[in-house]
Structure 1
Amino acid sequence: MGLFSSHNQLKMNPDQWYFPYGQDLQMESGSNASLEMFRDQPLDSLAREICQNSLDAAASREPVKVAFQYFDLPTEQLPNVNQLRDDILPAAQKEWSHEKKTQQMLKRMAETLSQPTIPVLKISDYQTTGLLNKNWQSLIEQAGSSIKKDDSSAGSFGIGKGAPFAVSDLRMVGYNSLAADGHRSICVMKFVSYKLREAKQNITQGTGYFGACGKQPFDTDLPFDKKHPRQEMGTDIYVLGFNHSLLSDWQTQIKRSIVDNFLFSLYKNRLVVEVDGETIDYPAAKMILDDLQKDKRLAKKYRDAFCYLNVLEDPDHCEFSLQGLTDYGVPDGDAILLTSNCSQANNRRVLMTREVGMKIYEQNRISSTLQFSGIFWANGEKINQLLKELENPNHDKWSEKRAADPKKMGEFLRSIRRFISTTIKNQYEQKIEEQVDAFGVSSFLPDDLNAFKGAKAQLKQKGSNRPKVKLEAQPQTSDQSPVRASETELSDDLDEFGTTGVQDGETSGSGYDGGEGGGIGGSNNASFGDQPGNHAPDKGSDQYAKINVKRQLIGNVTYRCIEADYHQGRYNLLINPGQPLDQVRIGINVVGDSGNKDIVHVKAAALADGTPLGTSFNSVYLDQLAKGQWHRIEMILNRNSRLKLEVEVYAHCE
């Protein structure tokens, strides 16, 4: 039997798929914008949207539980599968015979329906309110709307409802919800438009429904899952025809997404997730992140999450209450900032999140020199109301452009950033300056710091035991070139520099002391300085750069840069690594008052015993550094002013 041509006929045949129709409707193809936005990272998007919605519907302060469970459903138990196979799909294939992408989608649906079983991913939440009638109408019958229980709820666009359809080969999702005002269930299909066989002037909408009668929901559980009735408040979502390409590792991808996006929710005991029977709470999240650190590729991918875990795990982490936003109606204390700098893995970023604890984005460009990680939690009612208005549909950015008063809200966001930046700099900048900017302290430091481990240090007169080393600048020849970070040693913090890196210029321009270096950006003709250069460097012949050595940035290194005689550009570097290092490159940068980095040229370097070291542009090269020992390096730089120096250490990696 075909689709129905009258409402009366529909009432006589309730067990049918219903696609609303009418004359002169716009045809909808398989390119559904509300689904396409989730294609790039479908499981990550699914986990984010589902858990966010469940947190929004929390019934109490008890943690919300979200369970992901897979099972195979006999194909014949799918709602009126014969109507789909014999009537709806053929009509759509005929209608869209000229549209390749839609044909591919319809072919995949037909192949799925021809199998003996249908893969199903069931997602259930508990300790939630379920879908009240107003929420049900927003979810099932309205496009672009989202009714939440309060202003702290994360969703506001109604776009996230497309995420489950994006992981279904049938574009079919079942909903089953028990709320205080009733029990409701229905199946929804994001299909395509086609002309009805009975009245070809009528065109169907792209969305179809299988309920008790048309769009009217059942008042019981869905027909194909009567064995597991919903007995407590909450909602079940069935992804019918779960995408075959995602089956192999869906559990792993969901778990990693939960840990990456909801770490703070797990920490605050707001959320517990169950993936195929495995419970993911905060202790489990810590174990997952620890395991990810054992794989270099995954450790890099989830490095930020590990940094935020270290903030939470640091017993001495600092907690600051938001201040100074009362002009926007935000009371003091409406948000908190957690910070830490004790870890070996600081990412110099702050995780930004609202009341439910889901990651929105990461604030960077706070400082290029301070070591820290942080979490900003906007948990107050007023600040959540304002930030919700500024949040984009993907829930990964706050933008003043979305506000009714962009100028005022732009200053509001800048005030939040200033609070974060000022707080972090006030907390950590002084400690760094005491360690790095100790002008003249070399007069009071012993040459062999290691000899004083565990013993009482005695003050020595300046120069009494210092080796007689004459450090002279070595002339640079045209066959020397800097090592470029883009070739072997890209740092995760490259965004601190913007898009400009150090590269060879076509010819040398002005150099520091005669023009030894190449240009900035790779295509210009100038480097730093005010004296004419000679010619551009010839790549590949630097005996120290060792350009084929793969190195990675090392975080657990303690160092002190001490001025010896700035008039002559002499500085001493005291460095103590937390692990043994081989094939070491030490990059020296000048840090300005604004936090911007500048390149300095190391003209010569030697160990305290007089052993000369290889140099190239702003780098010093050593064969190795012993773990837990202080090493002294004397340098001549091409500047004759007092400098604030920053050191980055790279070492050989497999």
Structure 2
Amino acid sequence: MDETGNYAYYFEALGRGERQGARDSRSEHFATKDIEEALVRETVQNSLDARAGREPVRVRFALHNVSTASIPGFDSYVSALRSSVDQGAGTLEGAQPLHAALERTERAIVPVLYVHDFGTTGLRGNESDPTSGLSSLTNSSGVSSASDGRGGSFGIGAAVGVLASRLRAVAYLTRKFDGDGSTIYASWTHLAGHVDSEGVERHARGIFTDLREQNRLVYPRFREDGFGPFHQRDEPGTSVIVLDYRGADDDPTLEKLRQAALQSFWAAILKGDLILEGAHDDGEWTVDSSNLDEHLSKDSLLAEKTLPFRRALDEEPVTTVIDTLGEVRLHIKALDEGDLPTAHTRPLYTTTMRKPRMRIATWANRSIPRPYAAVLSCTTDEGNEFLRQMEGPSHDDWTNRGAPGQSAVLRNIKELLKQSLRSRFSYETSDAVAVPGLSEDLPDTVPFDDDSPLPLPEDKGVAGHESWERQSPERESNADPSKPVERLLPVPVPDGNGGRGDDPGDLDPVREQKPGSGESSKPRTRTGRGGPASGQVSVRTFSGPGDEWIEVRLRTGSDTATTTGVRFFGLDGADRDMPLTLLNAVDAEGRALATEGNLLKEVVIAPGSSTRLQVRFLETGKARIEARTDAA
């Protein structure tokens, strides 16, 4: 095969088209994820979607050094890259990786990450079919290859390979399950719009193809003789090749890839659908159903964040049938039963998954006081396809994307979660207690929604959330003053991670408030307004989304000191209350205050001033404050 004369990276002439910069907009969908997580989730999910039979899919990560001179089409790539940098790319947004890539081309050897899969169909179709998996990975954007199970829901997952490459180039080897036994080599790169040596303005995307073909893409096929440094595949399947893998220096033994894969695909491994392997200069590792628990237990992060969900699958499931989805299962495990290597005082909430058994999202129901981990799964064919259409390009949530039936499915799933969790933990609530005399201090009514589970970013943390406080509202002028009325108003309550989520764009940054350190310099949300009437106590809470502590302010209209107790309750979404457990309470100087259960005892309020306290809860529930006064 004349690989040097006929094949090269081809960049389409711009003509009257739109000029392209260095930034590939598709990569923005993965900007908030670690590169290992993004790469693993896209590649392994594609492999599971392309499973050929009943045998497990085997995915093997391998890190090897490759000579840059041996990479097919490398000269044409370097020429286009140099033009991209020299002709203004330095002034374009996102151009810094191009400069770094050009420096890397001076190296004789670069690390290359291979992600081989076995027991799959390979990439079906051909490069001329825009709906095929082969085309979706190399020459499509916004095109689904659902029939092939490759390329992601929007053809966007292919961008992860370029994102993981310091050369901004990715290649593929594929051998079709029903093909002629040959191996196809495909590759593409995203640089920046540039002018070639003949003065023709070109697009940013280059595709490795036979230059003799003027009107179509043709990828090389080969057998035993290999192609450049790449060998023929011995069996059907696909190999993703990340040229100059950017994670090689920090993760030479591929432990970060192993950890990321276990966080997302532990259930597929447990079921026997997936086997993971890693090969590097210092050895190899394998994870399958027989040693999964060992791998989860010996890694501190996995033991804390992933093993509890694995143990949840040992619990008897709640099973129901939801229209459009079919059978849905929910496994719930209490985390305070002492049978896990890591102690948990806070819930890990519910992780969701569909047929490939990849973790999709984590949903929180914060009205449940006990620490728990739950797994909700739908593995029917019809449910898998329906839920797949509810996922975004990064496959990390189920949302209503406007298609018929999606809103109803979400409601049904969340109702199943809410009712099953309450039933599992024998959820009981106390009666609401109204506090006469606070009506002058409270705002008007605000809308109230129930405590349906909220979608969360990954399991590294939970973003700040909105909770509810119940107090007596302002009365109508003709209302009976002996009958207190209750309204609801929002009170942000931080979670156990200090309100810090994965995506900082979801939150306004707020400096962490420490006990006794005074107010944050950032805006804080408060409840209540005005001053108390004589002989009465007003209660306000202040909390920024980055705070672990909640500030409580008490004022009295009395001209003498007042002693009061303060009780904290969680709202369950059904106009009822549940006591919250106080972990700590301190005064403005950081001195510890006496607590018992949900009661903050004997707080002294000086006359004519506001007394400031800070409290922290065991539960990450929804807060209500009841003030009970007792004259000093």
What pairs with 1:629-640 in structure 2 (closer than 5 Å)?
A: none
Is 1:38 equivalent to 2:30 in the alignment? yes
Deviation at 1:162, TM superposition (A): 0.6
Deviation at 1:128, TM superposition (A): 0.3
Deviation at 1:376, TM superposition (A): 0.6
| Residue equivalent to 2:295 | 288
| Residue equivalent to 1:204 | 202
| Residue equivalent to 1:417 | 414
Candidates 490, 496, 504, aligned match of 1:491: 496
| Residue equivalent to 1:240 | 243
Deviation at 1:255, TM superposition (A): 1.2
For residues 273-313 of structure 1, what are the alpha-carbon distances to aligned partners after superposition, in whole Å with 9 as ceiling and x for unaligned? Answer: 112221122454433332333xxxx47xx74323212313x
Deviation at 1:494, TM superposition (A): 6.5
Q: What runs of 5+ residues in structure 1 fail to find an aligned partner?
A: 1-9, 438-485, 538-567, 570-586, 605-613, 622-632, 639-645
| Residue equivalent to 1:426 | 423
Q: Which amino acid aligns with 1:361?
A: A
What pairs with 1:544-583 in structure 2 (closer than 5 Å)?
A: none
For residues 474-515 of structure 1, what are the alpha-carbon distances to aligned partners after superposition, in whole Å with 9 as ceiling and x for unaligned? Answer: xxxxxxxxxxxx99x97249699x999999899996599964
Is 1:48 equivalent to 2:48 in the alignment? no
Q: Name the CA distance, whole Å, in 1 between partners of 2:619 and 2:362.
A: 25
Change beyond 3 A, Cα 1:11–1:124: closer
Deviation at 1:137, TM superposition (A): 2.2
Deviation at 1:77, TM superposition (A): 0.7
Deviation at 1:178, TM superposition (A): 0.5
TM-score where L is the length of structure 2? 0.67
What pairs with 1:639-650 in structure 2 (closer than 5 Å)?
A: 648=618
Local SS of the residue matching 2:168:
strand
| Residue equivalent to 2:610 | none
| Residue equivalent to 1:109 | 101
Q: Which amino acid aligns with 1:124?
A: H
Is 1:135 equivalent to 2:121 in the alignment? no
- Equivalent residues of 2:542, 2:552 under 8 A apart: no
What pairs with 1:382-401 in structure 2 (closer than 5 Å)?
A: 382-400=382-400
Q: Which one is further off, 90-99 or 23-32?
A: 90-99
What pairs with 1:134-533 in structure 2 (closer than 5 Å)?
A: 134-149=132-147, 155-179=152-176, 180-182=178-180, 183-198=183-198, 200=199, 202-213=200-211, 215-220=217-222, 223-226=227-230, 228-243=231-246, 246-248=249-251, 251-276=254-279, 277-293=284-300, 298=301, 303-312=304-313, 314=314, 317-323=315-321, 325-326=322-323, 329-331=324-326, 334-341=327-334, 343-344=337-338, 345=344, 347=347, 349-365=349-365, 367-400=367-400, 402-405=401-404, 408-429=405-426, 491-492=496-497, 515=537, 519-521=540-542, 532=557
Q: Name the CA distance, whole Å, in 2 between partners of 1:105 and 1:494.
A: 33
| Residue equivalent to 1:120 | 112
Q: Name the CA distance, whole Å, in 1 between partners of 2:30 and 2:561.
A: 48
TM-score where L is the length of structure 1? 0.64
- Equivalent residues of 1:172, 1:239 under 8 A apart: yes
- Equivalent residues of 2:287, 2:295 under 8 A apart: no
Deviation at 1:253, TM superposition (A): 1.4
Local SS of the residue matching 1:272:
strand
Q: Which amino acid aligns with 1:18?
A: Y
For residues 566-595 of structure 1, what are the alpha-carbon distances to aligned partners after superposition, in whole Å with 9 as ceiling and x for unaligned? Answer: xx99xxxxxxxxxxxxxxxxx974345547
Local SS of the residue matching 2:383:
helix
Local SS of the residue matching 1:425:
helix
RMSD of aligned C-alpha atoms?
4.5
Q: Name the CA distance, whole Å, in 1 between partners of 2:15 and 2:316.
A: 64
- Equivalent residues of 1:511, 1:527 under 8 A apart: no
Local SS of the residue matching 1:23:
coil
Local SS of the residue matching 2:228:
helix
Q: Name the CA distance, whole Å, in 2 between partners of 1:336 and 1:600.
A: 31
- Equivalent residues of 1:62, 1:127 under 8 A apart: yes
Q: Which amino acid aligns with 2:219?
A: P
Local SS of the residue matching 1:225:
coil
Change beyond 3 A, Cα 1:590–1:533: farther
- Equivalent residues of 1:336, 1:378 under 8 A apart: yes
Change beyond 3 A, Cα 1:171–1:534: farther
Change beyond 3 A, Cα 1:384–1:364: same
Local SS of the residue matching 2:235:
coil
Q: Which amino acid aligns with 1:224?
A: G
Deviation at 1:598, TM superposition (A): 6.4
For residues 430-453 of structure 1, what are the alpha-carbon distances to aligned partners after superposition, in whole Å with 9 as ceiling and x for unaligned? Answer: 6x78xx99xxxxxxxxxxxxxxxx
Change beyond 3 A, Cα 1:163–1:528: same
Q: Which amino acid aligns with 1:111?
A: E
Larger Rg: 1
Is 1:23 equivalent to 2:19 in the alignment? no
Local SS of the residue matching 1:392:
coil
Structure (1 or 2) with the greater strand fraction? 2
Deviation at 1:119, TM superposition (A): 1.4
What pairs with 1:619-634 in structure 2 (closer than 5 Å)?
A: 619=595
Q: Name the CA distance, whole Å, in 2 between partners of 1:599 and 1:354.
A: 34
Aligned residues: 488
